[in-house]
């Protein structure tokens, strides 16, 4: 929420829409946006690319999928700072 990455609900009657939030730290949001773009780029992380493609295959637009990736990256960065640890990817098979 601090980075302005959580969706904001706009509803009227039975209609509901989720819009991007204008609140939060815009500089942090911009930094996470650049990280996300570099992760799905040519030399980025294969895990981020897989996550991005999975969101697109779920029916999300590229913008929505990028927003999901930004939220995931923000969670990872927060946990790294909170516990002062290095990020190690663990693939979970279901």
Domain, as residue range, for 34: 7-83
58-68 pLDDT, tens digit each: 999 999 999 99
Whole-model pTM: value is 0.81
In a domain, 56, yes or no: yes
Q: Are 9 and 18 in contact (CB under 8 A)?
A: yes
In a domain, 91, yes or no: no
Strands (E), the chain: 7-12, 15-20
41 pLDDT band (50/70/90 cuts)? very high
7-26 pLDDT, tens digit each: 667 788 788 776 667 778 88
In a domain, 90, yes or no: no
pLDDT at 92 > cutoff 70: no
The count of structural domains within the chain is 1
């Amino acid at each position: 929420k601090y980075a302005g990455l959580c969706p904001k609900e706009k509803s009227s009657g039975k209609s509901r829409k989720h819009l991007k939030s204008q609140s939060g730290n815009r500089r942090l949001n911009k930094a996470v946006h650049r990280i996300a773009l570099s992760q799905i780029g040519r030399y980025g992380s294969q895990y981020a690319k897989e996550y991005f493609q999975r969101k697109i295959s779920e029916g999300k637009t590229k913008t929505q999928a990028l927003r999901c990736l930004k939220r995931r990256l923000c969670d990872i960065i927060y946990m790294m700072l909170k516990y002062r640890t290095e990020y190690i990817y663990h693939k979970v098979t279901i």
